[in-house]
Each structure stands twice: as C-alpha cells, then as structure tokens.
Amino acid sequence: MNTLTYTNFKFKNQQNLYHGKVRDVYTIAPDILIMIATDRISAFDIILPRGIPHKGQILNQIASKFLDLTSDIIPNWKIASPDPMVTIGYKAEPIPVEMVVRGYLSGHAWREYKSGKRQICGVSLPNDLREHQKLPNPIITPTTKAKEGHDQDISREEILNSGLVPKEIYQKIEEYSLQLFARGTEIAAQQGLILVDTKYEFGLLNGQIILIDEIHTPDSSRYFYADQYLERFTKNEPQKQLSKEFVREWLMANNFQGQRGQSVPAMTDEFVHSVSCRYIELYETITGEKFIPHPTNQPIEDRIYKNIVDYLNSRFNQ
C-alpha cells in the first residue's frame, strides 16, 4: 500500500522540523510553517505501526476547505495548499489549551460520565444521560496541550486561576469555538451529518487571535449520520460514526488502550483498507465532492518536495 509515514526534507532557510503524531511540521525563517499531513494514524496517543492510504490527503484537504469556510469568523494560519498533503501558513504562538466542543455525550466524555463523574472540565451534567444523547446546548471541555503523552482535562476556572491563558483571550476563544462549532454543525447538516464534537486550537499572530492546526477533520471531530441517529439512539444501538473512534473501539476490543505492557494488535491489510475506506467515505460525505486520490505517477515524497519548493520560490523567492 502506497503511504507516506515519514519525511525528512531539507528546505532553504529551514530552522526546525517537528514530527508530530500525524503531521511533520517544518519551520522556515522567519515565520512560515510547512505542515505535511502524513498517512500515520494514532490512537490513545500511540502512533500505530502502519499508515493508512490517502489519510494524509483527506485530512489536509478537509482542513484546508474548512479553514476557508470559516475565515469570516476568525482569521487562520493558512496561506496556501500547494500539494494535496501540504498546507503552508503563518507561524503563531500557540495558546496552550485545546478547546473541545461537545454537542452530544460521546467518546471520552461518555467514558468519564459512565465511570460516575457528573462534572467534566468543570461543566455539570445531569443524571440519567445516555451514550450519544444530545446535550441541551454545546459545552466546552478544554484540555491542556501536552507535548508528550496524554492531554489532560482542565476546567475554565483552573485555566483562569492558574493564569495559563489571560481571561480576555480565553473568553474570546470560547466565543470563537462556539461560533466555529455552529458553522461546522450547519455545514454537516447540509450533508446529512451531525457534528458530534470537535477540537479547536488557537494562536497569537502579531497580537491577534487566529485559528491554527486542523479543523473539522475525522481526526479532530466525530460525525454521525443524521438519518440514522434517532432510530439507533432509541434502540440503544451503536451510532455509525465517521470519525477515528471506530479505530479506538477496534483497539479496545483487542485489549489495547495504550497502557504499559499492552501490545498493539496486528493491523491486517483488510483492516488498513477498511480504515482507508472510512476516511474516503467521510471526505465525500462531509465535502459533497468525489475523492480524487493524489497522483501516483511519481513517489509521494518527490511530488511533495517539488510542489513545496516550487511554491516557496514563486511566493517567497527562496
């Protein structure tokens, strides 16, 4: 399977290279980032041993599209996307919290609720809620941005009392998060989907708050099919999800949750192909467009490098 799981390019004026869980991020002097969405996939903060065909292209193209569709709400870091797997943009100072917005009680929030907690990140929840139940209003459950390991739940009060984020900035990113979630919900509904939950990351560029990283992709968001939701919820049946949650569920069913001593189950060709198909399904459903795989007439690395260098030369005279 033709996948890109690692890059180590050398660009003119390159200052730094960071390999994240999924993206390889190059810093170009003085303040430009090149973000390459690889085909790596992670779960429980562990990078799984096999790449997923087309995943990087799908993540990059969905994020690029939604950055454009929300730029009237808040400016973002994107300058251009010169390759299906690449976005080039401005380097900002990250605000050190991730803003998780939830419209339904699913995923991590449900697991916390099921364990007996009735307050998540300082947000109180009523008794007798069920998995995947719609919340009266979307809630924000922030997490810290961990450089390594797990992000940690944190409350609004803890963020403000610790001085982690100044009050006026935090209030503003709360507003932006809810506005972005409303826009994402609206776009998803037009395609017959429910945006269940998602996360947003923000940064400061010349003192201005901007949206950074990805937005509304299956790695950062959870989607349900709207026409199946009520019947499945009423019958206590699992929701068909367009998200990475099904990968987590597969891992848990095979006794892996990223704990010490646990081993990642074997990823068969059949499983890898099924994950790729789910990502393609989400792309076509959420965008309403046919997925067109990146060209395969040359190695992925060669194509990406050429497209990036050509763009840098044309835009920045590098």
Q: Kindly state whether residue 260 falls inside one of the protein's structural domains.
A: no
Which residue segment(s) compose the domain that 207 sits in? 94-242
pLDDT of residue 30: 86
- Under DSSP, the state recorded for 217 is -
Q: Kindly state whether residue 229 falls inside one of the protein's structural domains.
A: yes
Predicted confidence (pLDDT) at residue 225 exceeds the cutoff of 60: yes
Q: For residues 79 and 302, give the distance between their C-alpha atoms in angstroms, rounded to a whole number.
A: 22
| Short-list 252, 243, 256, CA closest to 285 | 243
Per-residue pLDDT of 66-105, as tens digits, reads: 999 999 999 999 999 999 999 999 999 999 999 999 999 9
Q: For residues 228 and 242, give the distance between their C-alpha atoms in angstroms, rounded to a whole number.
A: 13
Per-residue pLDDT of 42-77, as tens digits, reads: 998 899 999 999 999 999 999 999 999 999 999 999
Q: Kindly state whether residue 15 falls inside one of the protein's structural domains.
A: no
Q: Kindly state whether residue 183 falls inside one of the protein's structural domains.
A: yes
Buried b (16+ CB within 10 A) or exposed e, 149-159: eebebbbbebb
pLDDT of residue 136: 94
Predicted confidence (pLDDT) at residue 31 exceeds the cutoff of 80: yes
Residue 318 banded pLDDT, cuts 50, 70, 90: low
Predicted confidence (pLDDT) at residue 149 exceeds the cutoff of 70: no
Q: Kindly state whether residue 140 falls inside one of the protein's structural domains.
A: yes
pLDDT of residue 295: 76
Q: Kindly state whether residue 272 falls inside one of the protein's structural domains.
A: no
Are residues 149 and 45 in contact, defined by beta-carbon separation less than 8 angstroms?
Answer: yes
Q: For residues 3 and 267, give the distance between their C-alpha atoms in angstroms, rounded to a whole number.
A: 15
Decide: helix, strand or coil at residue 94. Answer: strand
- Helix (H) or strand (E) run with residue 58 in it: helix 55-69
Q: Kindly state whether residue 35 falls inside one of the protein's structural domains.
A: no
- Give me 182's structure tokens: 């409303």
Q: For residues 262 and 267, give the distance between their C-alpha atoms in angstroms, rounded to a whole number.
A: 15
Q: Kindly state whether residue 164 falls inside one of the protein's structural domains.
A: yes
- Give me 141's structure tokens: 């459950």
Any idea what the CATH number is for the domain that residue 164 is in?
3.30.470.20
Tally of structural domains, the chain: 1
